[in-house]
């Protein structure tokens, strides 16, 4: 493998991993607060369609990302109201949100099918973004750098701040946190809103980074991979980064196999396409049979908050 090809593969891997990483970081914060939101796929689709329409209409990628984040946040608040205020089942509500997001995005994007938009390009000078070697550092969209920065921010917030300690306390023992005066529902609403905004941004990555046009269901199950990735990473941000890039590598290999040439073509392209999802299933199975797997999960994950007073 030549240096040029290695750089191209690396850049493709990083870009392909970005939406999964962003969505998974949001879900990690949500789950550390004790809430299980399986609606990530739906929120990503809502972010994808609103981001695409904004980009198509205005041509402003920054505005497109902002609108996608707001759309994801608002859709997550629907989930939050049903599960936190009305104590609805979190698993069923998350699945309903995914179904809603799938239908909403298909309806809203129906008039924009196959219409092109411009990609969200790097903000660095062309001398750096087109350099044969330096482009591996400077040739990315701001969304890629945002995802890497957020890994550090989430880690720092959870491990080094009082707010992160409170959020983790709510996820581990909500009744104890409530008894000493912490607003459990408000904290969980904030976590859910953050997760929704991140999922919306992750959805916007698809038309702005990967496929510069609208296609129904363009997230292709990446939201489910993000949810599984949180478990795979044992609710730790830096493990999440490694896991996202691992899945990104598998997806990159699929793309290069379809492009033809090399030993990758020895495996059918359909199998390459299925590998990220097969890997997701394998990871969940391996984790489920580990005796100590449950010790890493927040103790109140998925359980409704029912204070005695």
List pLDDT tens digits, range 35-93: 999 999 999 999 999 999 999 999 999 999 999 999 999 999 999 999 999 999 999 99
Domain 3-296 falls under CATH 1.10.3470: yes
Per the CB < 8 A criterion, the answer to whether 43 and 76 are in contact is: yes
Write down the domain spans for the chain.
3-296
Q: Where would I find the H helices in the chain?
A: 3-32, 40-58, 61-80, 90-108, 126-129, 135-138, 142-160, 162-172, 174-179, 184-205, 222-232, 237-259, 269-288
Distance between CA atoms of 248 and 34, rounded to whole angstroms?
Answer: 28
The tens-digit pLDDT sequence of the chain (309 residues) is 588 778 888 999 999 999 999 999 999 999 999 999 999 999 999 999 999 999 999 999 999 999 999 999 999 999 999 999 999 999 999 999 999 999 999 999 999 988 999 999 999 998 989 888 999 999 999 999 999 999 999 999 999 999 999 999 999 999 999 999 999 999 999 999 999 999 999 999 999 999 999 999 999 889 999 998 998 888 999 999 998 998 888 888 777 766 665 566 667 767 777 777 787 777 667 656 654 545 578 999 999 998 865
Per the CB < 8 A criterion, the answer to whether 281 and 232 are in contact is: no
């Amino acid at each position: 493998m030549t240096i040029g090809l290695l750089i191209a593969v690396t850049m493709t891997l990083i870009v392909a991993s970005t939406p999964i990483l962003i969505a998974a970081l949001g879900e990690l914060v949500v789950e550390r607060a004790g809430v299980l939101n399986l609606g990530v796929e739906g929120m990503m689709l809502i972010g994808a369609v609103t981001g695409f329409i904004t980009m198509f209409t205005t041509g402003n990628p920054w505005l497109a990302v902002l609108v996608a984040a707001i759309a994801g946040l608002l859709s997550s608040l629907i989930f939050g109201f049903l599960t936190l205020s009305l104590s609805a089942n979190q698993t069923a509500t998350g699945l309903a949100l995914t179904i809603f997001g799938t239908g909403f995005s298909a309806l809203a994007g129906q008039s924009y099918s196959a219409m092109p938009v411009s990609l969200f390009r790097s903000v660095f000078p062309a001398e750096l973004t087109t350099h044969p070697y330096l482009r591996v550092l400077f040739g990315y969209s701001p969304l890629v750098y945002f995802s890497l920065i957020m890994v550090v921010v989430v880690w720092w917030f959870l491990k080094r701040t009082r707010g992160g300690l409170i959020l983790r306390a709510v996820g581990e023992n909500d009744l104890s946190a409530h008894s000493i005066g912490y607003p459990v529902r408000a904290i969980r609403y904030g976590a859910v809103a953050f997760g929704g905004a991140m999922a919306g941004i992750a959805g916007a990555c698809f038309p702005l980074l990967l496929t510069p046009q609208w296609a129904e269901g363009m997230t292709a199950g990446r939201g489910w991979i993000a949810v599984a990735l949180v478990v795979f990473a044992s609710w730790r941000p830096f493990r999440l980064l490694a896991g996202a890039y691992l899945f990104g590598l598998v997806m990159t290999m699929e793309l290069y196999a379809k492009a033809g040439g090399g030993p990758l073509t020895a495996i059918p392209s359909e199998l390459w396409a299925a590998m990220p999802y097969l890997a997701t299933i394998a990871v969940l199975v391996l984790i489920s049979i580990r005796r100590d797997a449950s010790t890493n999960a927040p103790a109140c994950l998925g359980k409704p908050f029912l204070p005695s007073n």
